Structure 1
Amino acid sequence: MSDLILLGIVGAPHGVRGEIRIKTFTGDPLAIADYGPLTDSKGRSFEITDVRPAREVVVARLKGVSTREAAEALNGVELFVARDKLPESEDEDEFLQADLIGCSVIGPDGATLGTVSAVENYGAGDLLDIETPDGRSVLMPFTKAFAPRIDISARRIEAEPPAGLFEPDDGRSDDAKR
């Protein structure tokens, strides 16, 4: 498991005084400012001095960033926090996405369906991107119904996927199958 957890990604500047947009991955988007200094993949440190909500993002001011040009230079920067700075979860059904990556996905019959390679969200809820043993990528909704039992310490997700989700596609259209 990674020692750094992705909390947000810097987007476009907001205005001309150095404010930035941040897409957050925290439960409460404004909580991104509560973790203290954040770092990027190059080890640079960023301190959020002010944050406010905006539609799908937050608008933030970073210490030392006071011009639109400085804010533009940060577009796309990923902001991380050390895992040990995160509070312990009291909810057994709450997981860090980073902890799900690499977990084996086991079907109802005990067969290995694949390994979680990513957790995606395109707006309708979290999806597990599962790499199957034959190299395909399958997206499965990450819900209690489809992933009823998760054991992070064993790196195992017991799944009850929708019928046919893991069936190989033979490449023919539905009309050609009839």
Structure 2
Amino acid sequence: MTSRSVLARIGKPHGLLGEVTVQLHTDQPERRFAVGTVLDTEAAPGTGVPRTLTVRSTRVHNGVWLLGFVEIPDRTGAESLRNTRLVLDGADDDTGPDPEDDDAFSEDELVGLRVVDPSGADLGSVSGLELGSAQDRLLVTLTDGREVLVPFVEAIVPEVDVAGGVVVLDAPAGLLDLGS
């Protein structure tokens, strides 16, 4: 399976001509969203979102990135894109991983990793990664089958060992009692 990197998540429509706000997950937006670039999409099944979108326009308005797509001519079409992820196949990423960024993990790398507490006791496994505007969250399926969202910050997730197949979770009291 090819690793896919999320470049951005589409937010709400902007204006009447099909532009959308995007939450960036790339440090190269000018390059990644250049006019004419074709981007793969990930959306919920049945939404009718095209598998690829072609960038028609890119601009920043009041500090918010706005994208327009050739396939989306109006606000109604733009609304249908909400929460769609714009992704890049790892094979297409000619920049390679940033050796300085030890804290960057793709969802594909994390899903399936065993989750343990600092003493090594089994808590469950990573079942997803939810990207957020302030911080990302790990979706953890606990050993009893419940799912919880855990802030993916160093204070709570001090260690991620992809090669070793384990994530250390130092959960504050009560965090694992909250269901998602």
TM alignment of 1:1-178, pairs within 5 A: 3-27=3-27, 32-33=32-33, 36-41=37-42, 44-54=51-61, 57-63=64-70, 65-68=72-75, 70-72=77-79, 74-86=81-93, 87-90=96-99, 91-120=101-130, 124-166=134-176
Question: In the alignment, is the contact (CA less than 8 A) between 1:30 and 1:58 conserved in 2?
Answer: no
Q: Work out whether residues 4 and 108 of structure 2, in 8 Å CA contact, stay in contact via their aligned partners in 1.
A: no
TM-superposed deviation, 1:131: 0.9
The question of whether the paired residues in 1 share the 8 Å contact of 2:3 and 2:106 is answered with no
Instruction: Give, in angstroms, the shift of residue 13 of structure 1.
Output: 3.4
Q: How far, CA to CA, are the matches of 1:79 and 1:147 in structure 2?
A: 26
What value does the CA root-mean-square deviation take over the aligned residues? 3.3
Cα 1:40–1:119 shift into 2, 3 Å: closer
When normalised by structure 2's length, the TM-score is: 0.70
Q: Cα distance, 1:124 vs. partner?
A: 4.7
Q: Could you tell me how far apart the structure 1 residues matched to 2:21 and 2:81 are?
A: 10
Q: From the superposition, tell whether residues 129 and 15 of structure 1 become closer, same or farther in structure 2 (CA, over 3 Å).
A: same
Counterparts of 1:76 and 1:92 in 2: how far apart (Å)?
Answer: 27
Q: Which residues of structure 2 form unaligned runs of 5+?
A: 43-48
Distance (Å, rounded) in 2 between the aligned partners of 1:164 and 1:17: 46
Do the aligned partners of residues 79 and 154 (structure 1) sit closer, same or farther apart at CA in structure 2, a change above 3 Å counting?
A: same
Seq. identity, %: 30
* Residue range with higher mean Cα deviation, 93-102 or 105-114: 93-102
Note the residue ranges of structure 1 that are not aligned, 5 or more in a row.
Answer: 170-178
Deviation at 1:132, TM superposition (A): 0.7
When structure 1 is superposed on structure 2, of 17-26 and 86-95 the one drifting more is 17-26
Aligned to 1:174: none
* Range that drifts further, 156-165 or 125-134: 156-165
